[in-house]
Structure 1
Amino acid sequence: MNNLNPIPANELQRILDLSDFNLDYSNFNDQFNDLAKLAASVAGTEISLVNLIDSYTQWTISSHGLDVDQMPREESVCQYTISKDKHFEIVNLNEDERFKNKFYVTNHLQLRYYYGIPLKSNGHNLGALCVMDRSPKILDPEKAELLEIIADEIINRLNTFKIIDSLRNQVREATDTKNKVVHDIRGPIGGIIGLAQIISEQGKENKMDEVLQFINLIYKSGKSILELADEILSSEKKQPKIKIKGDELNLMILKEKLEKLYLPQATAKGVSFTVSISPATADIPFSKNKLLQIIGNLISNAIKFTPMHGKVGASLALITGARSTLKIIISDTGAGLTQAQIDDILTGTSASTKGTNGEPGYGFGLALVKHLINGLGGILNIKSDKEGAKFIVELPQPLGMV
């Protein structure tokens, strides 16, 4: 059968749209559990999942009846759903050539029925709401309509999280602006006070009592403004420096997230995956904007092209200074890249290739990475030899962030 791994016609824009949500797939907690449970109840199925699909992976952000966090995109049924404008239904997975040999059909799960609805935002399918069962069936139109309503609510919530994240960034920028204004006014006010002191001292010698009284008032007024500025700055400094806000990460937290998200992928392929961080700056907050999307795609790509018993490593370091920089190195012991392949990646013209276990390539993971890095004003370098490849990313942090 042709097109065993379908790719939406708007795939690049689709994953760009998904990246704009800046999602942390490990941090949704119970925010969609009520909708997943409702979907299963409406459909009369044992299982329902809320899935988002990026370049390499299907991420389950909420589930009912089945404990699952992720699976390779090429193994999923929902990859077909996101290629559709409407729903995608399989009455019996065991009778469909595309799915009858999949692990969820042949193992203890013995799944048979699937019904999926695209989760659409701005015309792009970010993922799917799906319901599944262990016996074949056909969903009634009334139930299908109710599932459409649930899918719309999932997107509404995702958009709400996106808006909150945007507002959080605006608040941080406003705080940075306030601190800059306070810092900027301290200089001239200090100068005024200094000048007033000099004139005041000279005025005493010249017995200019009225001028002296006026200048003393200026001095006191200016000093009170300076004290107010110090108080504002002091209140900011009293905030715990290692407190992590919603739009921030630090190296320790990032390490934990990467291990949770990508160690299962590496383990499933028999690849060693490790994350190392620089201890000196391990607890200093930095922006998480598009960070998990960039690092995640690079790690998934490295696992894809690393053979069994190989190694994939992520090295993370925050280099502090006048303009702090987050340095990320993703290394692997795969076959490596030719200079022509490196040039294609850096120019955004790389073609899709299969992984070491024949994993299909969708051709957009590294293009997305390059696009996101450019958007953040960062730099991507690639080094490769017979021992593997290294992707080196440098991301400047926003002024005032660290």
Structure 2
Amino acid sequence: MKAPLHPHQGERLQALHSYEMIDSDPEKDFDDIVQLASSICEAPISLVSLVDSERQWFKASVGLDAMETPIENAMCAHTILEEEFLEIEDTLGDERTVDNPLSSPGPNLRFYAGAVLKTPDGLPIGTLCVLDHKPRSLSPLQRDAIKVLARQVMVQMEMRKALSSAATMRQEVDHRVKNSLQSLSAFARIQERSLQTEEARSAVSKIMTRIDAVSTLHEYLYKTDAGSNVDLGVYLDKIVDYLRQTAPANVEIDYAPVSVTVGSQQAVSVGTLVNEFVANSFKHAFPDQRKGTVNIALSKSASGAVSVICADNGAGMTPDIPSQSGGLGMKIAEIACMELRCELDLKISNRGVTASIEFKPEPRPQYRVQHQAQYQA
């Protein structure tokens, strides 16, 4: 017989769909649980079954090729009406399952036991169940094990829901921060035009350099799922694209991205340094419209150290001015290097300027949901 609707069917379905789990890819964590349930209960079939309005869908399964069954054939639809657990020792001897096509010869599913998957609000959304081809019963230990494993299924589902919610919130924050920073940058540029002294304009310019670097980072984070870590090669590529738009017609930027994962704050520091170097090269290195190139090189050594080298082939500077406020912008460079815990190697000659740093990448641990590439029943 078809199971009656749950008394809180609407709320139950809303809770089920909030996990965004139905029709998702197989995952090893759930596959491991059904394997363990099958072994403990000595049952050939074990399922993580999510009971929707018109079907039950299997997030994980052992011993069954089908990915879903119609709700009319769903033994688990009866289980979600129970408080915690349902065991049917012989499906042909129970009115709820005697006419179920799965109990008939062929499928011949004669034994069923399932523990309810409950949300923190107590709403049933599915089961962890085991089935056998012969009538039987579980031992008290096996029943307890199924209940414990059902709670572990919900722990996994809650964790994925929390991660998804956090990722969505982080993207929204990154989007809003990016927009706010762009507005602030535009305001600073307007104010810069009205400043009377070179010192004031230089100070505002340095502020805008930092704003632009952070804005680029948040745009990158918003469009990806980078979280607290950043692919520095991709991030610098974004900055270089921005700098190319502001480059004088006579100057080219040469950069080849290399994939290196660093912490997001480290990326901002590197981006600030690169931004400042290139902006100063545009301003000072190529007078009289002479043609030139600014080169940015990113690499990672066998020891894991990250190297960033910025160089131009411009007019250069005299060696006696590296500590002045002009040129590279030593104050910004000092702050960036302090954040990266590294030293700035600055080489100045009449053939150009080269600035290089080497630092240890410090990406933060990521907690991501792992998906199997392909499901095998």
TM-score (norm 2): 0.55
The 3-state SS of whatever aligns with 1:31 is helix
For the residues of structure 2 that align with 1:240 and 1:149, how far apart are their CA atoms? Answer: 38
2:66 is aligned to 68
Which among 95, 102, 105 is matched to residue 104 of structure 1? 102
Which among 202, 223, 226 is matched to residue 220 of structure 1? 202
Query: Structure 2, unaligned stretches of length 5 or more?
Result: 228-377
For the residues of structure 1 that align with 2:207 and 2:226, how far apart are their CA atoms? Answer: 30
For the residues of structure 1 that align with 2:162 and 2:96, how far apart are their CA atoms? Answer: 38
For the residues of structure 1 that align with 2:166 and 2:110, how far apart are their CA atoms? Answer: 44
- Native 8 Å contact 2:79 2:86 kept in 1: yes
2:17 is aligned to 19
Percent identity over the alignment?
Answer: 24
- Offset at residue 132 of structure 1 (A): 0.2
1:56 is aligned to 54
The 3-state SS of whatever aligns with 1:84 is coil
The 3-state SS of whatever aligns with 2:48 is strand
The 3-state SS of whatever aligns with 2:69 is strand
For the residues of structure 1 that align with 2:160 and 2:136, how far apart are their CA atoms? Answer: 35
Name the CA shift for 1:245/1:4 in 2 (closer, same or farther; >3 Å): farther
Name the CA shift for 1:226/1:11 in 2 (closer, same or farther; >3 Å): same
The 3-state SS of whatever aligns with 2:108 is coil
Name the CA shift for 1:178/1:83 in 2 (closer, same or farther; >3 Å): same
For the residues of structure 2 that align with 1:167 and 1:130, how far apart are their CA atoms? Answer: 31
- Native 8 Å contact 2:73 2:102 kept in 1: no
TM-score (norm 1): 0.52
Q: Structure 1 stretch 141-150 or stretch 231-240: which is displaced more? A: 231-240
Name the CA shift for 1:39/1:8 in 2 (closer, same or farther; >3 Å): same
Aligned partner of 1:228: which letter?
Answer: R
1:143 is aligned to 142
Aligned partner of 1:226: which letter?
Answer: M
Equivalent positions of 1:129-168 (< 5 A) are: 129-168=128-167
- Offset at residue 53 of structure 1 (A): 1.1
Q: Structure 1 stretch 85-94 or stretch 226-235: which is displaced more? A: 226-235
Aligned partner of 2:122: which letter?
Answer: G
2:90 is aligned to 92
1:115-152 alpha-carbon deviations (Å, 9 max, x no partner): 11111112111101110000100111221011111111
Name the CA shift for 1:181/1:81 in 2 (closer, same or farther; >3 Å): same
Name the CA shift for 1:236/1:87 in 2 (closer, same or farther; >3 Å): closer
The 3-state SS of whatever aligns with 2:28 is coil
The 3-state SS of whatever aligns with 2:145 is helix
For the residues of structure 1 that align with 2:225 and 2:159, how far apart are their CA atoms? Answer: 21
- Native 8 Å contact 2:102 2:108 kept in 1: yes
For the residues of structure 1 that align with 2:217 and 2:53, how far apart are their CA atoms? Answer: 44
Which among 32, 35, 45 is matched to residue 34 of structure 1? 32
- Offset at residue 24 of structure 1 (A): 4.6
1:71-130 alpha-carbon deviations (Å, 9 max, x no partner): 112211000000110311211223334433433222532111001111111211110111
For the residues of structure 2 that align with 1:170 and 1:220, how far apart are their CA atoms? Answer: 36
- Offset at residue 240 of structure 1 (A): 11
Equivalent positions of 1:77-88 (< 5 A) are: 77-88=75-86
1:322-358 alpha-carbon deviations (Å, 9 max, x no partner): xxxxxxxxxxxxxxxxxxxxxxxxxxxxxxxxxxxxx
- Offset at residue 36 of structure 1 (A): 0.4
For the residues of structure 2 that align with 1:219 and 1:107, how far apart are their CA atoms? Answer: 86
For the residues of structure 1 that align with 2:122 and 2:216, how far apart are their CA atoms? Answer: 48
For the residues of structure 2 that align with 1:22 and 1:234, how far apart are their CA atoms? Answer: 31
- Offset at residue 237 of structure 1 (A): 5.8
- Native 8 Å contact 2:44 2:63 kept in 1: yes
For the residues of structure 1 that align with 2:160 and 2:88, how far apart are their CA atoms? Answer: 32
CA-atom RMSD, angstroms?
A: 2.4
- Offset at residue 222 of structure 1 (A): 0.9
- Offset at residue 170 of structure 1 (A): 2.0
For the residues of structure 2 that align with 1:24 and 1:138, how far apart are their CA atoms? Answer: 30
Query: Structure 1, unaligned stretches of length 5 or more?
Result: 201-214, 247-402
Aligned partner of 2:114: which letter?
Answer: G
- Native 8 Å contact 2:171 2:222 kept in 1: no
Name the CA shift for 1:85/1:239 in 2 (closer, same or farther; >3 Å): closer
- Native 8 Å contact 2:175 2:222 kept in 1: no
The 3-state SS of whatever aligns with 1:32 is helix
The 3-state SS of whatever aligns with 2:56 is strand
- Offset at residue 236 of structure 1 (A): 5.5
Aligned partner of 1:85: which letter?
Answer: E
1:246-276 alpha-carbon deviations (Å, 9 max, x no partner): 9xxxxxxxxxxxxxxxxxxxxxxxxxxxxxx
Name the CA shift for 1:176/1:106 in 2 (closer, same or farther; >3 Å): same
2:181 is aligned to 182
Equivalent positions of 1:112-127 (< 5 A) are: 112-121=110-119, 122-127=121-126
Q: Structure 1 stretch 4-13 or stretch 58-67: which is displaced more? A: 4-13
Equivalent positions of 1:208-357 (< 5 A) are: 215-235=197-217
Larger radius of gyration: 2
The 3-state SS of whatever aligns with 1:63 is strand
2:350 is aligned to none
Aligned partner of 2:101: which letter?
Answer: F
